[in-house]
């Protein structure tokens, strides 16, 4: 063995041995380097028999000292050292044969070492066959709920509560007599009016869901979302009924059952050239005012509103009539009247509204939540979540003329000049 190779190997073995004794952090790396140099010498065929025997004893001593080192968390460096050490042991017979043959080899000495790889997420936790990626995952707390439409009805009508199942109101009917100015001593005119009671019964909407006790224990943060989901779905059905319930069976009497058909008032029908949807809104206002109402809002299908806002002139620039305003939030008003966009069913109508203060919604019982046992819930480890509410809607017969419904196509045909 050439002096420089022997000297280099001796220095490497000595350095590794000292590092092992001191339990240095680079001890394994130094031993690794010594084993690699020994492999290079064996393959070079430059070592004599006595030199190889000495080298083998040095390497054996180094391997023994290496095993005596305390177990470290730095197991990642173990792969190369252990592989090389085990390969030296497996090739022991071949190495001894080379030594006995005076250091001469009849063929190459192969060491089947596994190549070390970079340890990363991609080839460990994220690798195919790994059970999960939980150790790389953090729950953000975000729960993506199914989108539901924005509810707009109740905040725009008159609401309140009742303590009994029937809502009663009194209507004025049949005014008699005409006030007149009279002279001194003349007979005064007599006036009268009749009052009659009216009533409407509260209707109930109720929903329920089944949840296992394991779910309640393991995922308590989702329970409120289940309740919110059930409540929102019930509220959407309730709003549909408030708009277009047909008053049959257990259905509410919806606004479409109370509102009057669009007529356009007394002056606009047949008097508007090239009538547009904006002309229809103007005519609704006129019709309600003629019925002695104060128009505050009109529900309009969202698609209809956006079609109205897309109106263009012949040169394709957008135009809005004077008096139509759109604020920064996209809310639209026309001549001081709010146009409330909705995705709710309007009972076949494109619009319905007018003086919404005439619409009364009273709750006999607001949305109530109960969680308890039902049927065989106990033996099946389940809980039942129940939600229900009772409410009634009514409009006095005196107020139906100030509420108007219709479609844009039919309304424009009424307004169009003949």
Looking at the fold, whether 85 and 231 belong to one and the same domain comes out as no
Cα–Cα nearest to 20, from 76, 60, 62: 62
3-state SS string over the chain?
CCHHHHHHHHHHHHHHHHHHHCCCCCHHHHHHHHHHHHHHHHHHCCCCHHHHHHHHHHHHHHHHHHHHCCCCCCHHHHHHHHHHHHHHHHCHHHHHHHHHCCCCCCCCCCCCCCCCCCCCHHHCCCCCCCCCCHHHCCCCCCCCCCCCCCCCCHHHCEEEECCCCEEEEEEEEEEECCCCCCCCCCCCCCCEEEEEEEEEECEEEEEEEEEEHHHHHHCHHHHHHHHHHHHHHHHHHHHHHHHHCECCCCCCECHHHHCEECCCCCCCCCCECCCCHHHHHHHHHHHHHHCCCCCCEEEEEHHHHHHHHCCECCCCCECCCCCEEECCCCCEEECCEEEEEECCCCCCCCEEEECHHHCEEEEEEEEEEEEECCCCCCCCCEEEEEEEEEEEEECCCCCHHHEEEECHHHHHHHHECC
Looking at the fold, whether 158 and 237 belong to one and the same domain comes out as yes
Question: Structural domain of residue 121, as residue ranges?
Answer: 3-136
Looking at the fold, whether 93 and 159 belong to one and the same domain comes out as no
pLDDT of residue 77: 43
Q: Is 348 a member of any domain?
A: yes
What is the number of structural domains in the chain?
2
Residues 22 and 67: beta-carbon distance below 8 Å:
no
Distances (CA, A) of 309 to 317, 332, 353, 414: 12, 9, 19, 22
Looking at the fold, whether 219 and 296 belong to one and the same domain comes out as yes
Looking at the fold, whether 74 and 132 belong to one and the same domain comes out as yes
Looking at the fold, whether 208 and 100 belong to one and the same domain comes out as no
Distances (CA, A) of 89 to 60, 110, 244: 9, 13, 88
Looking at the fold, whether 211 and 322 belong to one and the same domain comes out as yes
Q: Is 179 a member of any domain?
A: no
pLDDT of residue 410: 97
Looking at the fold, whether 160 and 117 belong to one and the same domain comes out as no
Question: In CATH, what number is assigned to the domain containing residue 229?
Answer: 3.30.2400.10
Q: Is 144 a member of any domain?
A: no
Q: Is 111 a member of any domain?
A: yes
Looking at the fold, whether 42 and 128 belong to one and the same domain comes out as yes
Q: Is 142 a member of any domain?
A: no
Residue 328: CA atoms inside 13 Å, Cβ hemisphere, count? 0
Q: Is 292 a member of any domain?
A: yes
Question: Is this structure's pTM higher than 0.85?
Answer: no
Looking at the fold, whether 129 and 217 belong to one and the same domain comes out as no
Looking at the fold, whether 124 and 232 belong to one and the same domain comes out as no
Q: Is 362 a member of any domain?
A: yes
Taking 50 as the pLDDT cut, the residues of the chain under it are 73-78
Looking at the fold, whether 159 and 297 belong to one and the same domain comes out as yes
Q: Is 52 a member of any domain?
A: yes
């Amino acid at each position: 063995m050439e002096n420089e190779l022997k000297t280099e190997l001796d220095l490497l073995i000595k350095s590794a041995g000292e590092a092992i004794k001191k339990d240095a952090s680079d001890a394994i790396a130094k031993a690794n380097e010594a084993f690699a140099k020994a492999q290079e010498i064996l393959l070079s065929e430059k070592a004599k028999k006595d030199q190889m025997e000495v080298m083998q004893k040095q390497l054996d001593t180094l391997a023994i000292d290496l095993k005596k080192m305390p177990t470290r968390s730095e197991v990642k460096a173990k792969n190369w050292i252990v592989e090389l050490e085990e390969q030296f042991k497996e090739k022991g017979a071949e190495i001894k044969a080379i030594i006995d043959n005076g250091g001469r080899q009849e063929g190459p000495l192969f060491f089947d070492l596994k190549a070390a790889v970079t340890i990363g997420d991609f080839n460990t936790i994220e690798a195919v066959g790994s059970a999960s990626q939980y150790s790389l995952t953090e729950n953000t707390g975000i729960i993506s709920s199914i989108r539901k439409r924005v509810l707009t009805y109740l905040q725009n009508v008159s609401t309140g509560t009742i303590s009994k199942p029937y809502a009663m109101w009194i209507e004025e009917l049949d005014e008699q007599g005409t006030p007149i100015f009279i002279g001194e001593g003349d007979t005064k005119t007599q006036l009268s009016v009749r009052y009659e009671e009216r009533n409407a019964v509260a209707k109930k909407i109720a929903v329920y869901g089944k949840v296992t006790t394991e779910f309640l224990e393991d995922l308590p943060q989702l329970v409120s979302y289940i309740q919110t989901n059930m409540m929102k779905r019930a509220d959407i059905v309730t709003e549909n009924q408030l708009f277009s319930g047909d008053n049959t069976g257990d259905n509410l009497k919806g606004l479409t059952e109370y509102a009057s058909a669009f007529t356009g008032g007394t002056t606009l029908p047949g008097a508007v050239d090239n009538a547009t949807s904006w002309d229809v809104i103007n005519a609704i206002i006129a019709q309600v005012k003629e019925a002695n109402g104060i128009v505050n809002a009109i529900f309009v299908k969202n698609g209809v509103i956006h079609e109205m806002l897309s109106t263009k002139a012949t040169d394709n620039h957008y135009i809005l009539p004077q008096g139509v305003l759109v604020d920064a939030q996209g809310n639209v008003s026309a001549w001081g009247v709010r146009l409330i966009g909705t995705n709710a069913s309007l009972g076949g109508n494109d619009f319905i509204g007018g003086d919404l203060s005439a619409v009364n919604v009273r709750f006999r019982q607001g949305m109530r939540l109960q969680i308890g046992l039902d049927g065989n819930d106990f033996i099946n480890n389940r809980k039942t979540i129940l939600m229900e509410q009772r409410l009634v809607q009514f409009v006095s017969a005196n107020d139906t003329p100030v509420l108007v419904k219709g479609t844009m196509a039919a309304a424009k045909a009424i307004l169009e000049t003949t």
